[in-house]
A = this chain, B = another copy of it.
Amino acid sequence: MITPDLTDLPFGLVVDERGQLKPATTTIERRLSQMAGMYADRDAEQTALAGGEDPLVYEVHQYDVAEYAGELMVCTTILHPGKVGDEFFMTKGHFHEVRDRAEIYFGLQGEGQLVLARDGAAEAVPMSPGVVAYVPPHWAHRTVNTGREPFVFLAVYPGDAGHDYGTIETEGFPQRVLERDGQVLVERSGR
């Protein structure tokens, strides 16, 4: 049982001009090789990884607090522009380990889609600067950069939420976000 850190003091952080949260206590960099098999076009994935290239897909800059329900984690995500075949760069996507935990996103830079899934249902929320997007309890969520600039957003979620990446790694996600004839297409997919 994790309890709140009663010695916590108030603090201020800054989101810098490229979207980095400073200071951060955890920084994650996800490269394409760490998302093996998540994009539909395996040939395009192999091509993108050929010759030792391994594109940086996204960065998460987080300030950690106690993993307690009443605490709140805050992070920024910088999702770089790019595609694998015709599929836009995206995050791995996750459920919260504690399923009934919500999350709030706030768009800071660039353009994207928040795609969500639950029990066969699928939803998408377009995001841009000034948009607040709500991930309700129980919904898997993934973000996608549909533009040509970095897509940057702030996220806040309960301290005890945790991340379950494994379910999406094995079961896939029911939407793909593609570029078709110069347009952004959110497509229902088999997995």
A contact set with B: CB distance below 8 Å? 4-6, 8-16, 21, 63, 65, 68-72, 74, 98, 100-104, 106, 114, 116, 123, 125-127, 130-139, 141, 154, 156-159, 161
Contact A130 B10 (CB under 8 A): no
Query: Can you identify 21 A-B contacts, CB atoms within 8 angstroms?
Result: A4-B102, A4-B137, A10-B134, A10-B141, A12-B125, A12-B126, A12-B133, A13-B131, A13-B133, A14-B130, A14-B132, A15-B106, A15-B130, A16-B130, A63-B132, A68-B137, A69-B69, A70-B102, A72-B103, A72-B104, A106-B106
Which B residues are in CB contact (< 8 Å) with A100? Answer: 4, 68, 70
- Inter-chain CA distance A127–B13, complex, in Å, is 10
Number of copies: 2
Beyond A5-B136, A15-B130, 12 extra complex contacts between A and B, CB < 8 Å: A12-B132, A14-B131, A14-B132, A15-B106, A15-B131, A15-B132, A63-B132, A69-B70, A69-B158, A71-B136, A106-B154, A158-B158
